[in-house]
Amino acid sequence: MLKAPIIGIERHRLTTDGQGVTTLVAFHGCPLHCRYCLNPQCLVPEGVKRRISTKQLLDEVAVDDLYFQATGGGICFGGGEPLLHTQFIAEFCRSCPPSWHIYLETSLSTKLDAVQEILPHIHHFYIDIKDLNPVTYQAYTSRTIAPLRCNLQWLAQNADTDHVTLRLPHITGFNTPDDVSRSRAELAKMGFSHFDELTYLV
């Protein structure tokens, strides 16, 4: 049975990670190094809180089954970067009740085959775009934007974009409202229609 490193499990999140009541399962590890990372413990070895199997996770989160069913909620995988643990997520999804909705909070900055593997299991994607300007993206995340662009194109062509929300942050010192508008327009042209603009607290 697969095991994955996690930095935490948080119960009873209300609509922040999906419809209804959700439990957030946050993985350790991320390909990005964002300047204002909310969970920097996912980047250091000592940040691993536990290594958990899919069965252990299922046993633990099942305590809220009644709320998941009653509210259309379920599990949100985040982190860190959940796309680094697609086999684990897929195994979990095959064993959890089919009535649970599975949400994914991701930077989408991984290999395409990770996105392809996970797509059938995900009810809704929440993708943190940062900014589509490649210079801004590199400055903020310390990584190239190429994987994100590639995966967005693939997702636009192969997923139901009604089940994709793109998060466009206003990041002080990195982008302006005009930059955010430009990113949004470009993403709309790709075929996406659900956006969530927010301001990063720095």
Partner 1 sequence: MYRGKKICEVLKAVRLHIAQANDIRYVPQVCTHEGECRGTCPACETEVHYLEHQLDMRQALGKAVVIAGIGAALFPSVAQAQTPDTLVQKKQQVTSDTLAGKKSQISDDDILFGLVEENAQFPGGDTACKLWIQKHMRYPREARKKGIEGRVIVKFVVQKNGSVGEVEIHRSPNALLDAEALRLVKSMPKWKPARQGAKCVESKFLLPVEFKLH
Which residue ranges make up the site for partner 1 (CB under 8 A)? 11-12, 14-15, 18-21, 49-50, 56, 59-60, 63, 66-67, 69-72, 99, 101, 103, 123-124, 162-165, 194
Q: In what order do the strands lie in the sheet with 164-170?
A: 50-53, 3-14, 21-27, 74-79, 101-106, 124-128, 164-170, 195-199
- Please identify, using beta-carbon distances, which residue of 111 and 163 lies nearer to partner 1: 163
- Please identify, using beta-carbon distances, which residue of 19 and 39 lies nearer to partner 1: 19
Query: Smallest gap, in angstroms, from Cβ of residue 63 to partner 1?
Result: 6
Query: Smallest gap, in angstroms, from Cβ of residue 66 to partner 1?
Result: 6
Query: Smallest gap, in angstroms, from Cβ of residue 69 to partner 1?
Result: 5
Query: Smallest gap, in angstroms, from Cβ of residue 51 to partner 1?
Result: 8
- Please identify, using beta-carbon distances, which residue of 20 and 31 lies nearer to partner 1: 20
- Please identify, using beta-carbon distances, which residue of 95 and 144 lies nearer to partner 1: 95
φ, ψ (nearest 5 deg) of residue 195 = -130, 155
Query: Smallest gap, in angstroms, from Cβ of residue 111 to partner 1?
Result: 26
- Please identify, using beta-carbon distances, which residue of 5 and 18 lies nearer to partner 1: 18
User: CA 31, 108, 164 angle in degrees (round to 5)?
Assistant: 155
All residues at 6 or more sequence positions from 93 whose CB lies less than 8 Å from its CB, including other chains: 102, 121
Helix, strand, coil shares, percent, the chain, to 5: 45, 25, 30
CA distance 172 to 116: 33
**Owner of token pair 């209300």:** 14
5 alpha-carbon distance from chain centroid = 16
